Chains A and B, each alone.
Chain A
Amino acid sequence: MSAGPSSSGFLEASRRGVADADLRRKLENATGRHLEHVAASHAEFPAFDSERDAARRIKEDAIGRLDELLVELKNNLEANGAAVFVAADAGEARDYIVKVVQRAEAKRVVKGKSMTTEEIELNPALERAGAEVVETDLGEYIVQLRGERPSHIITPAIHLSKEDIGRLFADKLGIPYTAEPETLTDAARKRLREIFLSADVGVTGVNFAIAETGTLALIENEGNGRLSSTLPDTFIAVMGIEKVIPKLSDLSHFLEILARTGTGQKLTTYVNFISGPRGQKDADGPRAMHVVILDNGRSAMLADPVLREALYCLRCGACLNVCPVYRRIGGHAYNSTYPGPIGSIVSPNLFGSAAAELPFASTLCGACRDICPVRIDIPRILLHLRWREGAKQPPARWPKETVKVRESVVRFARMARFPRTLRLLTRLAAVVLRPFSRDGYLRRMPGVAGNWTKWGRDFPALRARRKTRKGAKPAPRIADANRDGAAAPSGQSQ
């Protein structure tokens, strides 16, 4: 497993994903259920949009004075007794964590769910140093047992059915086969509880780091993040530089929107606040606490006027669930720690040219921008990255399929200059394609047009004649409408 894409095999991987009908069924099932919960939780919270705006403003402010806030955060964490290490890249972060683990003579490391530690490929480094590393989030534990990487930033095992997991647990944990989620969860709880109680080091990510108090906030549902940061003697938190927010009072604005969008809950089960190691008299909590603040390409994103907005991301995962591309191909096709729309933005910047194709993996439909709790304009950033990539590459380097689509669009544009011919051809096509039409859609098309429907896409059936209601006036031509002032918004621009 590697954190970044190892080759630009996105097209092949996405083809495999699309062809896997079972995977698509599982994805549709899980993402559909998530979107229903999200819609319900937004509907019952009238302040949702004002909270989104407040959160967005806080992020704009925080990222705009990141230098100040990082100094404040570091000073306050140190005053609280935590050791702070700043890592310029993944290698520095890994080396530091390995050293801490070795110094603690740790044999067992438990991990809460953390995409940042996936990004820096921490597990293999710790294993090479002789430590046993156990992922403790149920989804992460499942994919670790399968030797896979997570396929979603919130639901790592979204690509697996309960039957897949039942077979896995029977094989790896030696329990009798069952597809009952309760029994499977209970088996994992028992196994992981023993591991927690004997772990020497706990590693987690960070959702928010509050500069004013030097406090880390960890947000989760399972309690494994709490256990990882409470039971072992050494606790290591790994965070990207963008996680810092100015004040404690800012946090509620994020909490009000994060779970509502990420999981459809009002609030996640646990919000854990950790500022430093345990006090002299405390009965639990780590004796040593380390905070690794990671740059790894983020300051370069900060320097880019368009890309900077991507640093507002809360990693709620909603843009993945709503993305028509992700829902068709699944997370593994992206071959990156961060899949989906936001992954297509951050991966090329964190992992370089190997992920350069990902910004093209979008229909630019805008569903991600609409659902994003901090209103990140993802399509705009994707276009920016496409232009950036396009400027670097000679046209011949574009994927064959992209070139073909482009040529077809150019041909269509030429034809569209002759509307009468176009109408005539449409009518002709409607007659030819009529036998293929069902419920107003073409799900299969003959000849070259079949390329469109080959991957499961449909197309609205063409009509031989334009439908007009009896007695209805023909629609005014644009030129006429402009003359009447009807097309001018609010009738203002005369």
Chain B
Amino acid sequence: MSAFHKLIARVRTALESPVESARPHQAAADTASPHAAAARRAELASAFAREFGAVRGEFLGIHAPEKIPAKAVELARTLKARVIAVGAGVTLDFDPVRHALESARLTVVPMDTKKSEDAPPLRDRIAQADLSVVEADAAIASTGTFAVVGTPASPASLTLTPAANLIIFRADRLHADLATAIAALGPEPFVKNRVAMITGPSRTADIEKMIVLGVHGPRRLFAIAAWPGQ
């Protein structure tokens, strides 16, 4: 009998013992989070901006997709960033972002993902970037959160090792709460890729419970909502 089967046998025997419940729990309560199913996009965006600000994220507004390259250049200049790592878009084309940054004489880290052997150098080059730009697969208004799926063209390190991170999301991928966002993503990305939910910049409260940002991950986190006609 393998160790696993032995464990399952132990667990099965243990489960045969009766359970003494502490007290009856409300049986019929609603299991779903309350969420504003009919909330308008604008309301969600404003809720997102409020919550994102509360976790010390910096919301740069709602902009038309064609204005995003200029916004990325403006941010890079404000931060005095020289090296920028740009992932692949999910719904948006990020080539114009790359071109705009290069035209502004900034160094864009090439995402050469053809050969797996290149992984360590690429990983290290991403870690050297002053700013990274990615698109989120979903955003959550009630907590100011992004769900970012790591892919070969948009590695997980992009939202982790650079000093600052700009996350762009399409306004129609903004969900009211966690439950709806997880349901909308479905199980596939969780099984096939690495998914990170990100709520504000990296932080610690390990010294006298005082909050300090950027302990391991990005110290500053920026967001732009993309929506046509803005």
Contact = CB atoms under 8 A, between A and B. Distances in A.
Q: Do A and B bind each other?
A: yes
Interface stretch (A115-123, A182-190, A351-359, A462-470): A182-190
A300 B18 CA distance: 13
A253 B179 CA distance: 8
Interface residues of B, number: 81
A22 to B, nearest CB: 13
A21 B195 CA distance: 45
Contacts of B37: none
Contacts of A306: 20
A274 interface: yes
Nearest to A215: B190
A192 B191 CA distance: 30
B197 A271 contact: yes
B216 A252 contact: no
A249 B202 contact: no
B23 A227 contact: no
Nearest to A282: B152
B130 interface: no
- Dominant SS among interface residues on chain B: mixed
Contacts of B7: 70, 86, 88, 241, 293, 295, 299
A188 B20 CA distance: 48
B132 interface: no
Interface string B92-127: 000000000000000000010110101100111011
Interface in A256-289: 256, 263, 265-275, 278-285
A214 B157 CA distance: 22
B42 interface: no
Given A67-B11, A70-B11, A248 B187 contact: yes
Contacts of B55: 265-266, 269
Contacts of B145: 267
A281 B113 contact: yes
B17 A303 contact: yes
B122 A283 contact: yes
What class of interface size applies to chain A in its complex with B? 35 or more
Nearest to A266: B143
Interface string A146-160: 000000000111100
A47 B212 contact: no
A453 interface: no
B55 to A, nearest CB: 8
A66 B179 contact: no
A139 interface: yes
A80 interface: yes
B152 A279 contact: yes
B196 interface: yes
A285 B150 contact: yes
B40 interface: no
Contact of B212 (A60, A185, A282, A302): A185
A99 interface: no
Nearest to A158: B209
Nearest to B7: A86
Interface of B: 2-4, 6-8, 10-15, 17-20, 22-23, 25-26, 29-31, 33-34, 51, 55, 111, 113-114, 116, 118-119, 122-124, 126-127, 142-145, 150-152, 155-157, 160-161, 177-179, 182-183, 187, 190-192, 194-210, 212, 214-217
Interface of A: 26, 29-30, 33-34, 46-47, 50-51, 53-54, 56-57, 60, 64-67, 70-71, 74, 76, 80, 84-88, 92, 136-139, 142, 155-158, 161-162, 165, 181-182, 184-186, 188-189, 192-193, 197, 210, 212-215, 221-224, 226-227, 230-231, 241, 248-249, 251-253, 255-256, 263, 265-275, 278-285, 293, 295, 299-300, 302-306, 308-309, 375-377, 380
27 contacts: A50-B29, A57-B31, A67-B15, A86-B7, A87-B3, A155-B209, A158-B209, A181-B212, A185-B207, A189-B216, A222-B202, A231-B123, A241-B7, A248-B187, A249-B182, A249-B183, A253-B33, A266-B199, A272-B195, A273-B197, A275-B192, A280-B116, A281-B116, A283-B152, A283-B157, A303-B14, A303-B17
